[in-house]
Structure 1
Amino acid sequence: MFDSLSDKLDKAFHVLKGHGQITEVNVAETLKEVRRALVDADVNFKIAKDFTNLVKEKALGQDVLKTLKPNQLMVKIVKDELTKLMGGDAEEVDLSGNPSVILMSGLQGSGKTTFSGKLANYLKSKKSKQPLLVACDVYRPAAIDQLHVVGDQIGVEVFSNKEEKNPVLIAEAAIAHAKQNGHNVVILDTAGRLAVDQVMMNEISDIYKAVKPQETLFVVDAMTGQDAVNTAKTFNDVLDFDGVILTKLDGDTRGGAAISIKSVVNKPIKFIGTGEKMDAIDVFYPSRMADRILGMGDVVSLVERAQEQYDEDEARKIQKKIAKDKFGFDDFLKQIQQVKKMGSMKDLMGMIPGAGKMMKNMDIDDDAFKHIEAMIHSMTPHERENPTSINASRKKRIGKGSGTSVQEVNQLLKQFTQMSKMMKMMQGGGGNKMMEMMKKMQ
């Protein structure tokens, strides 16, 4: 995410490295590179220029503390101003209605239908809501079918009526259905078109007037950059929506839309889509995004994702097994499944400070664990429970069954043994011994 922009900003800050103080000359040189990096990231030139002028004013007005170097101070100022540019504080959806009505808008192909499902799944799993998805696109039968597929995936009811061609009547009937059946959130998936046109705007305005939603959200593809910002402005001029949803942000190496959309439409980015799975949705935190853009990682989000997957009862069981030397490959497999639920490996690595930069040229496969899982699935229940029983002939059989080599099986067994020892040391408080063992593993 934003790899290209992060690299260019990093090079810009290097201009100040070795300088003992901030001067008008070295600040101007640094900010020239920062402005160029933002424009290359598809940020509007005026926004980039205003941004760097503001940073310059702040930088020249501050003395460099003894604890900070000039380039570190510049990074801090840029981080603070980037956070403000992207909205400052996180804003979630208004769920005050009974039911709360959320109107989804956007162009065709922006990922509106899929994101409606992601939002429903988020509200169901994280906010304990009972959402109802509503198919208001009366032009594309495939859109209705797609919403039903999405609803089945996440276990959320979908309200639709292929016979009715008036989306206002469908929306009103859906809200009545929600009140009668205990749904406290209604998400209206409306029709999109390939470009903004009067027919579409009139239709969504009619729905808005009829149902008076608590939230009107505009869904836009982050990868379209400045086009996304321009489309958002056109929509907002007519619809006056409450917030923006940026989809496909995981594939956006530039970041222009995320950085500049708030200053153009003066509406917050509320959520971002970070993958294809139904749980690939995050609340947009401007401060955390600024950290990631500047290569500082996002430890808070990483910890939050880990906590979501943390099972206290399962953790206690594993602790007991570790204490009794009974930790086996079935337990290891469960740990792998928990890590996979946290998101794509590339996204997770980007949240670790410095890791994104170290691994930028590495191809991080989302199926990074598939060979390990294949080897474990090729073991017998006895072998999984008793890893020490795996001898040469068993290794050969496991390798053959998993499509791997004996060397790979050996490597897995070695890593598993080292990890088991480390886990036991952590339980026993043997920090120094664990550090020595980690050095040997390097």
Structure 2
Amino acid sequence: MAFEGLADRLQSTIQKIKGKGKVTEQDVKEMTREVRLALLEADVNFKVVKQFIAKVKERAVGEEVMESLTPGQQVIKIVKEELTSLMGGEESKINSADKPPTVIMMVGLQGAGKTTTTGKLANLLRKKYNKKPLLVAADVYRPAAIDQLQTLGKQLNMPVYSEGTEANPVDIANHAMKQAKDDHLDYVLVDTAGRLHVDNDLMDELKQIEQNVKPDEIFLVVDAMTGQDAVNVAESFNEQLNISGVILTKLDGDTRGGAALSIRAVTDKPIKFVGMGEKLDQLESFHPERMASRILGMGDVLSLIEKAQENVDEKRAKELEEKMRSASFTFEDFLEQMGQVKKMGPLDELLDMIPGANKMKGMKNLEFSDKQIGHVEAIIQSMTPQERMEPSIMNASRKKRIAKGSGRPISEVNRLLKQFEEMKKMMKQMTNMQQGKRGKKNKKMKGLNFPFM
């Protein structure tokens, strides 16, 4: 996962200073040296690292720390604030046109995921903002790009404007604008041609499209996996095209995170969105403050709540919660709730959003994966409806049949049954304790229930 190595290094470094009642200049010097090494290992631009460390050091040895009652905590606060500032400070929203349609040019090199990201962005605009986008196939040099965009349009049930491979990209963009106005659409997303590297022909064409359609945004799509190369590409495009923002793809992959931490400082252009997976709903707005919190192991509760609100049926979640409280929760309910949690994304990423989860006893060594969840689902789906409703009827022969049907060993079937019963007992105990506390309100995050965590 992105930032994993950087996060581990930074978290272990700041832990050393966290509880200190007094922070000396030597403490700060040692901490910033470790932070510098961690950032360089994460492939962050050298100049960016130098400036970042200078700012942290200047503030960390200043009065705000030396006169603080909790100097260790204050230093961590400074690191978080400067990390947030490095990535742009706050969320950067799309610049909308005064009169629709808003025009967005999608630019970038081949292989960065530009066409897929165009589809993802259109999906996000419709899903989150209730907007009507038009996808425009302006990459006439790569027939596969046109086919891909048309396929995405069918999957999303969205209109795609295309004139094939023989038309002029500038004409295509102009004609698409007219169609969007005629059809009263809100956004025009122009998927432009890419190259294997930045060249004059590519830039000339992009400039012609820009001069004709006068886009409200020019988004550069870059692959976060390419590290410093992504920063160099962003710098080249920005110098010639004056991009308005960056979309980082594959931030969920095995990337060190250097691009995300360097691009804003090098180009002075914000990261607007990040791709967190291959599915069409896995494009997210980029929140620098939330990302800084996650890197430093402080969690990201706001993003977790947003994911829950988007993917979890709140009414059904309350019904399941009541069942858990009354100990009438069944394997059928359990299966349903697992499905709702899976919609929110990989479980290990959700855990990263919970403050302190990475420090919970035993949590660090646990591995949560879709594969493991799939095993649990297979076991439950191999049960009869009666067995799901009444696990107490399970005997040796039933367990043997379930194990065979799910392709899992009997030991896993036994473990799941035991954990399920323990969970129900625990929930009943917690309910009894809460009922005994008169006058005290039970504060909880609405819509968030993780019975199998």
What TM-score, normalized to structure 2?
A: 0.89
Paired residue for 1:234?
236
2:86 maps to 1:82: no
Deviations 1:403-433 (A, max 9, x none): 0122222222222223334445555664789
2:400 maps to 1:396: yes
Paired residue for 2:349?
347
Paired residue for 1:304?
306
Equivalent of residue 118 in structure 1, options 106, 120, 128: 120
Question: How far 1:171 sits from its partner (Å)?
Answer: 1.6
Paired residue for 1:10?
11
Paired residue for 2:223?
221
Q: Secondary structure at the match of 1:102?
A: strand
Question: How far 1:124 sits from its partner (Å)?
Answer: 1.2
How many residues are matched?
Answer: 435
Deviations 1:228-265 (A, max 9, x none): 11110110111111111111111244221111111111
Q: For residues 95 and 403 of structure 1, do their structure 2 counterparts lie closer, same or farther at Cα, with a shift above 3 Å needed? A: same
What TM-score, normalized to structure 1?
A: 0.91
Q: For residues 424 and 122 of structure 1, do their structure 2 counterparts lie closer, same or farther at Cα, with a shift above 3 Å needed? A: farther
Paired residue for 1:244?
246
Paired residue for 1:436?
none
Contact 1:42 1:225 in 2 (8 A): yes
Q: For residues 48 and 78 of structure 1, do their structure 2 counterparts lie closer, same or farther at Cα, with a shift above 3 Å needed? A: same
Q: For residues 356 and 155 of structure 1, do their structure 2 counterparts lie closer, same or farther at Cα, with a shift above 3 Å needed? A: farther
Q: For residues 98 and 64 of structure 1, do their structure 2 counterparts lie closer, same or farther at Cα, with a shift above 3 Å needed? A: same
Deviations 1:183-207 (A, max 9, x none): 2111111111110011111111111
**Distance of 1:422 and 1:411 partners within structure 2:** 16
Q: Secondary structure at the match of 2:372?
A: coil
**Distance of 1:317 and 1:329 partners within structure 2:** 15
Equivalent of residue 379 in structure 1, options 368, 376, 383: 383
**Distance of 1:329 and 1:124 partners within structure 2:** 35
Paired residue for 2:440?
none
Once superposed, what is the RMSD of the aligned Cα atoms? 2.6
Q: For residues 18 and 121 of structure 1, do their structure 2 counterparts lie closer, same or farther at Cα, with a shift above 3 Å needed? A: closer
Which runs of 5 or more residues in structure 2 are unaligned? 438-451
2:424 maps to 1:420: yes
Q: For residues 68 and 245 of structure 1, do their structure 2 counterparts lie closer, same or farther at Cα, with a shift above 3 Å needed? A: same
Equivalent of residue 184 in structure 1, options 183, 186, 201: 186
Identity of aligned residues (%): 54
Contact 2:126 2:132 in 1 (8 A): yes
One-letter amino acid of the counterpart of residue 93, structure 1: I
Q: For residues 417 and 17 of structure 1, do their structure 2 counterparts lie closer, same or farther at Cα, with a shift above 3 Å needed? A: closer
Question: How far 1:64 sits from its partner (Å)?
Answer: 4.0
Which runs of 5 or more residues in structure 1 are unaligned? 434-440
Question: How far 1:19 sits from its partner (Å)?
Answer: 5.4
One-letter amino acid of the counterpart of residue 21, structure 1: K
Contact 1:346 1:366 in 2 (8 A): no
Paired residue for 1:199?
201
**Distance of 1:75 and 1:319 partners within structure 2:** 37
Contact 1:222 1:252 in 2 (8 A): no
Paired residue for 2:287?
285
One-letter amino acid of the counterpart of residue 56, structure 2: V
Paired residue for 2:35?
34
Equivalent of residue 369 in structure 2, options 351, 365, 371: 365
Question: How far 1:31 sits from its partner (Å)?
Answer: 1.3
Paired residue for 2:44?
43
Contact 1:134 1:160 in 2 (8 A): yes
Q: Secondary structure at the match of 1:272?
A: strand
Q: For residues 115 and 361 of structure 1, do their structure 2 counterparts lie closer, same or farther at Cα, with a shift above 3 Å needed? A: farther
Contact 2:139 2:193 in 1 (8 A): yes
Question: How far 1:67 sits from its partner (Å)?
Answer: 4.4
Equivalent of residue 272 in structure 2, options 260, 270, 273: 270
Between 1:361-370 and 1:183-192, the stretch displaced more is: 361-370
**Distance of 2:322 and 2:358 partners within structure 1:** 35
2:340 maps to 1:338: yes
